[in-house]
Structure formats: C-alpha cells, structure tokens
Amino acid sequence: MTDAAVPVTQSAVENFTARYLQSLGCQVEIRDNEWQVTIPEDVETDLPKGEHALVCGTAEDLDETYEQLHPESSFFQSVLDDASDRAPLGVTRIDAIDTDIIVPDWLQESSISVSNIDFTPYYDRSALVVLFRLSVETVSEYQQEFLRSIGIDIRSKEILPNIDETFLTLTQSETAPILSRDIAVEPEQVERLVDASREPLLSEIQPQIDEIHQGASRAADAELEEYRQLQRQREEELETEITHLRSKIDDLNESIDDKNQTERVEALKERRECKSKLQEVETELNELRRRREQGYPDQQREIRDRHGLEVVVTPVTVTEIEYERGDATFELTDCDLTRTLTVGYGSGVGVTEAVDCDSCGQSLSGEDPLGAITNGVRCMACRG
C-alpha cells in the first residue's frame, strides 16, 4: 500500500494549471517545459493579469523574467488559491471500470504469479479527499511548503490508501470531471473528518519535518558556536585590557611620589580612573566567564527559539468521492498449483483487509510478502 499522505506530482500540477487557466479564458502556449501564459484583463480572477513566462519544475539560476511551476511554487499556490476560492468543495466518483485493479504490495513483492483478478462490487461508499497545504518554517531562516492529499472514509473514518492518488490521477483526465456542487456531507462532519485526517497526514510527513528540524538545529548549533567564539574573543580582549590597566596603575603608583603637586594631582586622578575602569572590565569579564560556565542559557534559548519549527496545516480543497466496495478475487499460480484468494476491495482504494499467514498468523506485507500457496497462504518466512 502507498503512504497515507500522497504528494502532489509535477504532472498533476501542470495538467491542473493548464486546464484551470484555459477554463478561465486564458491563453496557454506550451513548448516543452516552457509556458507562455496570457491572462486577459477581462478575466474574472485574482491572478495577476498580463503575460507570464513559466518554467516547469525546479531550476537554479533562473532568469528573473521566468516564474517556476511546481507543487510548491508561488505561481501554482496562487492558482490553487484562486481555484479553491471559486470551488473549495467538489464531488466525483471512482468506478472500478475506470481504474486498474490495485495489486497489494504483498503480491507485488511475491514470486507467486497473478493470472487473473476479478472485482465484484456490492455497495457504494463515500470518502473525502482533503488537499492540505503544510507550511514548515522557522522564524528567521526559511519556509517550506508542501501539498499533500489524504483520503478518509466518511462512515468509518478509516484512512484510505491509494484513493487520493487515484483521485489526483483522474483529475488529469478529461473524462473525469470534478463537479462543483454541494457535497452530501454536513459541514460539521466535514470539519470532524478533516481534523481526523490531520494526525495521520503529519505522521506520514514526519521524516521531512525531522529533516527540516535537523537542518534548523544545525543552523542553530553553528550560530551558537559562532556566538561562543565571539564571547571567547571578547574575554581575551578584556584579559589583555586588564593586564594593561594593572600595569598602568603600577607605573602610576611608582611615579606619584616623584611628581610636583600639580602632576601628582593629575596622576592620582588618572589612577582613580584606571582603577574604576579596571573594576568595570573585571566585572564584565567575570560575567562573561559565569555565562560561559552556564552554557550561555539566555542566548541558547533565543537562538533555539528563532530556529524552532512551526508547522501549519491548512485544508485547501475537500472532494467527496463515491467509490465501490466489494470483493476482489486473485487467481494465483505457483508452478502447477492454482489457488484463488478473495479479499475485501475498494475501487481506487485497493485491498481493504489484512491477509494473514496461515502458519504464523502475521499479516502479509511488502517486507514479508506471500511466499507459498501450498497448504494455505504462507508468508515468505514460513514458506519452508
């Protein structure tokens, strides 16, 4: 099975952008990965009017006359915002006849052949596919945005793998229109389902968040080390200054008795100033040493706060999807032996129930796929 949260692909971005702009009455000329887009003044849209030169995908050292078009680019974010403002809710249907049967990973990774698959739908179910924008940022360094979709069954609140990927694929087909009509789910239930899908969504992108956090931590460590070096340098400067002041005070002490009254008064005044400065410098040095011994707690807290992550999850669009549930029968072949295996299945979703090994009782998976069909279903570890 695929991840619960599916990233929006580059092809989906390009297809959606072209179709949406053309539906508004914009001109889109495509030459390989370069687009020329014209948004007329009379088009009702919040997108910037005029000419836009786009380059698909990410590119470094891009000419400033070009804008990038990819899932996280500012231009696509503007297109998505414009489209979601017009129709944040939609309805579509996934029928088995419109989609390929999804073979589970425990069969894809197996040496057992699949000679035939039949799907028998029994009833319809509904799901929501929610497209989220995730903003991961630090206060001072950078911001990264991701688009992720996730599917959830309306009745059971079960996270449905594959259905959002199937949905994103269908959006690239002219034969699968997304209807902008009121969905059947009540607004309060939509809100609950959207909330229920946040945690598994965040769990799926946690590795990316961790990677960003590690980068932010490295930046914080580097800044803190630079601060330590500056403070150590300042300590050395103060130590040098203290040595100089003490030497000067000693010289003044030795010379005071040899001076006339006027010179003596000036020397005493200068000695007082040096002693006052010495006390001030020693106080500053002692404070720096104290803070160093404590590990610069205030500075550490300030730097960590500036490099701390803030993750904001915002739903952009919600699509109600009607899909079929029933049974899928896989005809399996291993040498001269043939066996049929029937499991629960959903159109666009895939296998909806775990299949356990008849020997050890563990569920089959991509890591421990189907290993044998002799004397029942056996995993790779138990195939003997």
Flag whether pLDDT at 174 surpasses 60: no
Segment 302-340, tens digit of pLDDT:
888 877 788 888 888 888 899 999 999 999 999 889 999
369: nearest Cα among 2, 1, 121 = 1
Confidence at residue 173, expressed as pLDDT on a 0 to 100 scale: 58
pLDDT in tens, 104-153: 999 999 999 999 999 999 999 999 999 888 888 776 555 677 788 899 99
pLDDT value at position 357?
95
The H or E element containing residue 301 is helix 297-307
Residue 4 CB coordination number (10 Å): 20
**Distance between CA 80 and CA 219 in Å, rounded?**
32
Each residue's pLDDT tens digit, 242-288? 999 999 998 888 888 777 778 888 888 888 999 999 999 999 999 99
Q: What is the DSSP string of 125-185?
A: EEEEEEEEEEEEEESSS-EEEEEEEEEEETTT--B-TTHHHHHHHHTT-TTSPPB-S--SS
Question: What is the sign, positive or negative, of the torsion defined by CA atoms of 209, 215, 221, 224?
Answer: negative
pLDDT of residue 2: 41
8-state DSSP, 40: -
Q: Is the dihedral of CA 147, 169, 101, 115 positive or negative?
A: negative
pTM score? 0.67
- Collapsing DSSP to helix, strand or coil, 216 comes out as helix
Rg (CA), the chain: 34
Is the pLDDT at 367 greater than 90, yes or no?
yes
Q: Give the tens place of pLDDT for each residue, 220-236.
A: 888 899 999 999 999 99
β-bridge partners, 312? 135
Q: How far apart are CA 286 and CA 264, in angstroms?
A: 32
Evaluate if residue 182 carries a pLDDT over 80: no
pLDDT at 1: 35
| AA identity, residue 44 | E
